[in-house]
Amino acid sequence: MEVVVNGRKLELQKKERHIGGEAPAARVKMLNGETKVIGMMADKVQCMITLSNSYDLNGSLLEVINKHKEKANIYVVSSSELENSYDDSMCAYDFKDFSLKYGVNIDDTTCAKSVFIINKDGEIVYKEVLDDLVSEFNLQVLDKELESAISFKKKGHTHENWMGV
């Protein structure tokens, strides 16, 4: 996949991730100093947002994040210091390993703008990688996809209901 940076098309580094594929685990040092392993299976839906510019965490994106943060783990990984703040335990500037594992690394200083929603089973259920570093996410779609992933109920056999009558 390619991203336009300063008028030049650059190939994103490492493996491209696809919807339906398994989300890789990534170790990330959060702004509060805590190191977390994010991705893979979790007790809540996870949303990974990568940003490349200090101004990318704008009011509209924060509105969507704040709407869903109680029912989903929403991580913001940025390749530059952000102007706006979110939760320091959910934000990181430690983007290199994460961006390589998710296929959104441009170079040692920058990552592409992207969103990955990962269900509780550790599968990627939504992905948006922007074509350049200045475009905005489709926040209506992001809001809808997050809501859908959070409210999804798995059908079929579960340990709790297999003996139900």
Identify the CA nearest to 101 among candidates 28, 3, 35, 151: 28
Kindly report the average pLDDT of the chain as a whole number: 89
pLDDT digits (tens, 9 = 90+) for 106-146: 999 999 999 999 999 999 999 999 999 999 999 999 999 99
pTM, rounded to two decimals: 0.88
Give me the pLDDT at residue 157, please. Answer: 58
Half-sphere exposure of 18 (CA within 13 A, CB side): 2
* Domain chopping of the chain, boundaries: 12-148
In which band, very low, low, confident or very high, does the pLDDT at 26 lie, cut at 50, 70 and 90? very high
pLDDT above 60 (res 165): no
CATH architecture designation of domain 12-148: 3-Layer(aba) Sandwich (3.40)
